[in-house]
Amino acid sequence: MFGNYLIGLREGLEASLVVCILVAYLVKTENRGALRPVWLGIGIACTISLAFGALLTFGTQELTFEAQELLGGSLSIISVGLVTWMVFWMKKTARHLKGELEGKLDAALAMGTGALVATAFLAVGREGLETALFVWASVRASGEGSSAPLIGVLLGIATAIFLGWLFYRGALKINLAKFFKWTGGMLVIVAAGVLAYGVHDLQEAGFLDGLHDKAFDISSAIPPDSWYGVLLKGVFNFQPDPTAYQLAVWSLYLVVVLALFLLPARPKAAPAPKEPTPARG
């Protein structure tokens, strides 16, 4: 549940901040008439995201077991790739998010209503589709048959909307660089577990070998049905008996991606001084 709350909080806050910046900019520049197209784009994005999540949930139930595992494993790997890209993108652009969005909004205002709808739709829709896919993959990985994962992500989104509202009202000052650094690091750990489970799905589908080649089995020390086993599963997608492929993929992803993510950003090089133009005789 914690992993899904984190996903809802992070992705929801990204979308909330984008919406707050768009709305605040339009209000500040006395373009309140442009708010309706923005809300229309947001509504379309939310509807498509919900429909995509429902399609993933109910559209795969009629498939064979092998087809379900193959589709689930493939989408899990795709979702991890998207989340990884977003984590690094937000690390790079968090400090300049406001200026970048205002520049795009200026161009959209000049182009008319359709461009405003598209700007809001793309800003929110990307986060919504990514959230739906990653939450679906995370729920599959957690193996929870309860409503806890859905409650977790809804609480995360609700928290993000509330923080976004405080941000808009000026009651909250968010250090975006630090926030996305800490939540990004935790999300990398969650994504590593989802990736490992995606590999397990592909093994069960017969796409990869080594399903019965266990790296270790500590089920007796950490029973999956114990409270701490459930906690580890829910937070980190921990599996007490991973295959060798799963352990290798999990370790490689976690070490490489976390190291790159925590690597301090290089300072921008100062522009080289211009050489003086020789005087013409």
Each residue of 187-198: pLDDT tens digit? 888 888 888 888
Residue 231: pLDDT above 60?
A: yes
pLDDT of amino acid 254: 92
Chain CA centroid to CA 197, Å = 17
Chain CA centroid to CA 77, Å = 13
pLDDT of amino acid 102: 61
pLDDT band, residue 64 (cuts 50/70/90): confident
Residue 165: pLDDT above 60?
A: yes
For range 151-166, the mean pLDDT: 83
Q: Is 50 within a domain?
A: yes
Inter-residue contact 7 to 135 (CB < 8 Å): yes
pLDDT of amino acid 249: 93
Distance, in Å, from the CA atom of 158 to the CA atom of 111, rounded to the nearest integer, reads: 33
pLDDT band, residue 234 (cuts 50/70/90): low
Name which residue leads in pLDDT, 71 or 247.
247
Name which residue leads in pLDDT, 63 or 267.
63
Q: Is 267 within a domain?
A: no
pLDDT of amino acid 101: 61
Residue 7 domain boundaries: 2-262
For range 61-68, the mean pLDDT: 77
pLDDT of amino acid 144: 54
Q: Is 200 within a domain?
A: yes
pLDDT of amino acid 278: 58
Tally of domains within the chain: 1
pLDDT band, residue 103 (cuts 50/70/90): low
Q: Is 269 within a domain?
A: no
Report the chain's mean pLDDT, rounded to a whole number. Answer: 77
Helices (H) and strands (E) in the chain, counts: 9, 0
Inter-residue contact 212 to 221 (CB < 8 Å): no
Which of the residue ranges 17-26, 87-96, 154-163 has the most confident prediction, judged by mean pLDDT?
Answer: 154-163
User: Percent of the chain having pLDDT more than 70?
Assistant: 74
pLDDT of amino acid 52: 83
pLDDT of amino acid 261: 87
Question: Quick check: helix, strand or coil at residue 202?
Answer: helix
Q: Is 274 within a domain?
A: no
Q: Is 40 within a domain?
A: yes
Residue 236: pLDDT above 60?
A: yes
What CA–CA distances, in Å, run from 230 to 4, 142, 187, 248, 250? 14, 9, 19, 23, 19
Q: Which two tokens stand for residue 169?
A: 């009202």
Residue 253: pLDDT above 90?
A: yes
Q: Is 268 within a domain?
A: no
Q: Is 278 within a domain?
A: no
Residues sharing a CB contact under 8 Å with residue 202, sequence separation 6 or more, in sequence order: 69, 70, 73, 74, 208
